[in-house]
Amino acid sequence: MKNKEIKGLSDQELIEKIRDGKADLNKLTLNHAISPIESPAKIRLERRKIARLQTEVNLRKNGAAKAAGKTTKK
């Protein structure tokens, strides 16, 4: 999933994608523990996809806080 695609998603869609990604990552890691999967790089790619989604959620949250005049740094 590209960053342009991620930026086009709504907040609710981002949360759903994160939830789905975490479930997929859990399945991949469990399957890999039982018997090695053919491409362990899939685990890394899934973790990175989740991280990109979470980064976008945090950017939106911090952007909304700044727009409201609040700062998150102390």
- The answer to whether residue 6 is domain-embedded is no
Domains contained in the chain, number:
1
Looking at residue 63, its pLDDT comes to 86
Looking at residue 70, its pLDDT comes to 66
- The answer to whether residue 57 is domain-embedded is yes
Q: Classify 10 as helix, strand or coil.
A: coil
Measured CA to CA in angstroms, residue 57 lies from 27, 39, 52 at distances of 24, 29, 9
Per-residue pLDDT reduced to its tens digit, 52-68 = 999 999 999 998 877 77
Per-residue pLDDT reduced to its tens digit, 15-62 = 999 999 999 999 999 999 999 988 999 999 999 999 999 999 999 999
For the chain, what is the largest distance between any 2 Cα atoms, rounded to a whole number of angstroms? Answer: 52
Q: Which domain holds residue 49?
A: 18-67
